[in-house]
Structure 1
Amino acid sequence: MSDKKYTTTSGIEIKELYISSKPMDEKPGEYPFTRGIQKDMYRGRLWTMRQYAGFSTAEESNKRYHYLLGQGTTGLSVAFDLPTQIGYDSDHEMADGEVGKVGVAIDSLKDIEILFDGIELKNITTSMTINATASILLAMYIALAKKQGADLKQISGTIQNDILKEYAARGTYIYPPKQSMRLITDIFEFCSKEVPKWNTISISGYHIREAGSTAVQELAFTLANGKTYLRAAIDKGLDINVFAKRLSFFFNCHNNFFEEIAKFRAARRMWAKITRELGATDEKAQMLRFHTQTGGSTLTAQQPLNNVIRVTNQAMAAVLGGTQSLHTNGYDEALSLPTEAAAKIALRTQQIIGFESGVTDTVDPLAGSFFVENLTDEVEVAAWAYIDKIDAMGGSVNAIESDYMQQEIAASAYAYQNEIEDGTRISVGVNKFTQKEEGLTEVFNIDDSIRKLQTDKLEKLKAERNNIAVKEALDLIQVSAMGNLNLMPLIIDAVEKYATLGEIADALRNSFGEY
């Protein structure tokens, strides 16, 4: 008999044998949605196969979008470069060396027009991974939809818009937490009236996990943040039965197959309870809808083709866990942005799971598994313990301001790294089954000349636009930020006059200050 202790990545002990679980009398599509939010799940419609793309200039990203749409992608997902994420134009000194590197550079409505050239916004859904400057990018998207003649009541997509996890795990915030929350609730309020099909926030556990949290911490901190957004919207006088339908979540799918599935099932059940406690009576407002991305931090630069297998396992777990939308990472992403070949095999992975594996034929294939049901319960209990602690601190904003979440994540990341280094956790190709030659030569490179291209575009734009009208629009934003007026209509107006992203962010910096 070995006395080795088997645990999940969150430290939940795994028994040798499971011989019972509580009886499953729950139906899919009914409260508390453990088994899925649709009665027929993927028999009715497969998840949205999204491929995250965006690099260098809007022109180059536009070509990749047309390529992905041609390969069968059903939703676009936009990655923005670092200057765009933190509110600087490409010609700002802070942007030096970063333009177009981790995503597409967007300086003005002109760039958005180029990014979606030849793509009708009314025919696709778009997900934008943007937080601190979400209000500005959403304003640009709305302005383009108006120019294309689309009905704003019909356009759909998602902005990440989850600033709390930026303070906790990722760092691309601009303004102090309370002012940032004001922008988020302005978006909630504006979209509930004007763009009702838009998902106004994607509450993200993904980056919490990428920063090194366990599965349980990812679940607990994400739902605690979600609870804080619900309270902020309720305090603004919004109806939870209306705005909660437009919240979505964004989770990571890591290596531990069954723990990840249990996490997704527990997440739905917990969110249903949280929304009901805060007054949601409409079932659609109690449903947790989520997008999943396979775990970027699990990808290895050593033997990169092994990542194809990792991504397949993670994607399968996300589908068995009932995701609404999925992005599969490219096998070469530990080395560079994905090459076209890697992006294609990532998409084909989803298509093979969807059309060949048979896992979509029944609603909740793992329901009733003694192991999965017990693990779902244990993940839930462990996550509630964290949420209770955060509630006792007065919610997520306080927990972040007192550094609690950040320290918990850092401790988990440290423990995980130690396990890799001392060999108690095996990473194939890294600390076991290693080889000298890695065998991957082609990587994706972004040229520094992009900054020059973007700067030239900015100079031309500023020479051609009506600068007096732009200044008036920016002044109005700055003054109104001091009061209680909803800022979204003013930001849309400034964007339509071709004010730049950096100029609008600066107007808000002047009122809100920086964090």
Structure 2
Amino acid sequence: MPGEKCFTDSGIEIKKVYQPTVNGQRSTEIPGEFPFTRGIQPDMYRGRLWTMRQYAGFSTAEESNKRYHYLLSQGVNGLSVAFDLPTQIGYDSDHDLSDGEVGKVGVAIDSIEDMQTLFDGIKLQDITTSMTINATGFILLGLYVALAKQQGADLKKISGTIQNDILKEYAARGTYIYPPKPSMRIITDIFEWCSNELPKWNTISISGYHIREAGSTAVQEIAFTLSNGKAYVKAAMKKGLDINVFGKRLSFFFNAHNNLFEEVAKFRAARRMWARIMQSLGATDPKAMMLRFHTQTGGSTLTAQQPLNNISRVTIQTIAAVLGGTQSLHTNGYDEALSLPTEEAARIALRTQQIAAYESGIADTADPLGGSYFVESLTGEIEKAAWELIEQVDVLGGSVAAIEQGFMQNEIARSAYEHQLKVESGEKIIVGVNKFMVDDEEKIPLLKINDSIRKMQVEKLKHLKETRNKTSAMACLENLHSKAVSGENIMPAVNDAVENFCTLGEIADTLRKVFGEYR
């Protein structure tokens, strides 16, 4: 358990950290010290285990709420919300473009009423919540804050994360609404508002996960992610924000794939690189230089063939994330190449983390692979290659310019194509896919989402619009429009709008009129 002495099963005591000595002096890189290659805390998981945060959300807020209560009962200590596609791109469930997508890849959230239902029986001040939302992240944050206020929570104590990373959407994922420049303005508005009102909130989770899912290599994942991070920091500083204040609330989100040692080295290199990037940009507070990150096991590595094999894949990826020093972790269900995870698959995924934490011994000492000839060399090689890519992005004018010119997209697409050629030729072996196949695939139960939930959401929206104070709601939207045009911080206007029962689609459309849409 964290804080206690640790022993092997043979009774040998395990130190908090192991390090070589050079001429009688300890080695230069120590966990908890700049440049944080070996971890951001001196004793890492000896002091506190990583947060076990299972990503979940599907169908209606009612159904997702049931899953959250189930996960909490099974030992999850942080929630992670998946939103459906209409919510992610700013459409209410009754919009024509929402047809066939409501509740399919996440939960449908149209208004404060859905948010109330989603967290029914859950005190927001007592839990940390991560929300995977980008283009409409500012609206979901407003809804979350409004609910916290209704619960009587102290906003200074509310903690959690919104992904809020729009740059990787243009490069790898596609759930954007507005063009890059106004999108960056919204993000810095969030930074500014949270610095004053929500000081414990992680205002962004700069995401390499989706870059990797789109087909990048491990090197490209950290190079492009850290480049995006630089762009956000520079934008915030241009707005006059203090890097030593907002820098402490930046977080990252990385993928864990199957090449165990490359993944561990990737995480170690990323920490070291970010510390030096922040130092070069003017950070002086060590906490503003720390790369804190969440990890999710690799969805794109899961196979529809022989899906139970995915439990083994997720186990390897879990070990990589923990050996690499992650602060929180989501483990995928074995059935996710086929559908959203069933309750059984979600439980097995969580148990994988718990077994790693309590039975494997990998959490007993900080950076257990530190000093390995192989891992230290690989960390350096990955860092060198990633710096070379970052320099190419910088030459193009930074991440926004590199994305506008298609550089990141083309590099990711090239790597994805090369990987697929290796799989098809057999050079890259995927067990159960191009080798060790079976004739009869085992049938496993799948979670199916009923299309009738759109009708339920439409009815709720109709009732909300009929019963709310329409004058107040429209006044709030007009005020938001005014703030967007004037260049003032939009977050106070967004908060007023959600509290007066404006819908997510109405708020997103108000800004569409000002900023336009990215094509």
Q: TM-score range by the shorter chain?
A: over 0.9
SS at match of 2:276: helix
Equivalent position of 1:121 in the other structure = 124
**CA RMSD, Structure 1 to Structure 2 (Å):** 1.1
5+ unaligned residues in a row in structure 1: which ranges? 1-19
Equivalent position of 2:102 in the other structure = 99
Q: Structure 1 residue 26: deviation in Å?
A: 1.1
Matches of 2:169 and 2:177 in 1, distance apart?
Answer: 10
Equivalent positions of 1:109-148 (< 5 A) are 109-148=112-151
SS at match of 2:71: helix
Matches of 1:119 and 1:440 in 2, distance apart?
Answer: 36
Q: Structure 1 residue 441: deviation in Å?
A: 2.8
CA contact (8 A) 1:304 1:440 kept: no
Equivalent positions of 1:495-514 (< 5 A) are 495-514=498-517
Matches of 2:276 and 2:28 in 1, distance apart?
Answer: 17
Matches of 1:50 and 1:441 in 2, distance apart?
Answer: 25
- Number of residue-to-residue matches in the alignment: 496
Matches of 2:439 and 2:296 in 1, distance apart?
Answer: 30
Equivalent positions of 1:66-85 (< 5 A) are 66-85=69-88
Matches of 1:24 and 1:169 in 2, distance apart?
Answer: 39
Equivalent position of 2:236 in the other structure = 233
Matches of 2:213 and 2:341 in 1, distance apart?
Answer: 18
SS at match of 2:486: coil
Opposite residue 381 of structure 1, the aligned amino acid is K
Alignment counterpart, residue 420 of structure 1, candidates 423, 427, 434: 423
Equivalent positions of 1:19-38 (< 5 A) are 24-38=27-41
Q: Structure 1 residue 25: deviation in Å?
A: 2.5
Q: Structure 1 residue 24: deviation in Å?
A: 4.1
Matches of 1:193 and 1:361 in 2, distance apart?
Answer: 37
Q: Structure 1 residue 438: deviation in Å?
A: 1.7
Matches of 2:456 and 2:192 in 1, distance apart?
Answer: 37
Alignment counterpart, residue 322 of structure 1, candidates 315, 321, 325: 325
Q: Structure 1 residue 21: deviation in Å?
A: 13
Equivalent position of 1:475 in the other structure = 478
Equivalent position of 1:447 in the other structure = 450
CA contact (8 A) 1:55 1:103 kept: yes
Equivalent position of 2:11 in the other structure = none
Opposite residue 247 of structure 1, the aligned amino acid is L
Equivalent position of 2:276 in the other structure = 273
Matches of 1:430 and 1:57 in 2, distance apart?
Answer: 35
Matches of 1:259 and 1:374 in 2, distance apart?
Answer: 11
Alpha-carbon deviations, 1:265-285, whole Å to 9, x = none? 000000000000000000000
Q: Structure 1 residue 253: deviation in Å?
A: 0.3
Alpha-carbon deviations, 1:62-110, whole Å to 9, x = none? 0000000000000000000000000000000000000000000000000
Work out the percentage of aligned pairs sharing the same amino acid. 72
Opposite residue 474 of structure 2, the aligned amino acid is K
CA contact (8 A) 1:296 1:333 kept: yes
Matches of 2:212 and 2:156 in 1, distance apart?
Answer: 34
Does structure 1 residue 333 correspond to structure 2 residue 336?
A: yes
Matches of 2:299 and 2:345 in 1, distance apart?
Answer: 14
SS at match of 2:152: coil
Equivalent positions of 1:270-349 (< 5 A) are 270-349=273-352
CA contact (8 A) 1:21 1:370 kept: no
Q: TM-score, normalised on structure 1?
A: 0.95
Does structure 1 residue 380 correspond to structure 2 residue 352?
A: no
Spell out structure 1 runs of 4+ moving beyond 2 A. Answer: 20-25
SS at match of 1:390: helix
SS at match of 1:153: helix
Does structure 1 residue 156 correspond to structure 2 residue 168?
A: no
Equivalent position of 1:90 in the other structure = 93
CA contact (8 A) 1:308 1:331 kept: yes
SS at match of 2:440: coil
Equivalent position of 1:14 in the other structure = none
Relative to structure 1, the CA distance from residue 346 to residue 21 in structure 2 (aligned partners, 3 Å threshold; closer, same or farther) is farther
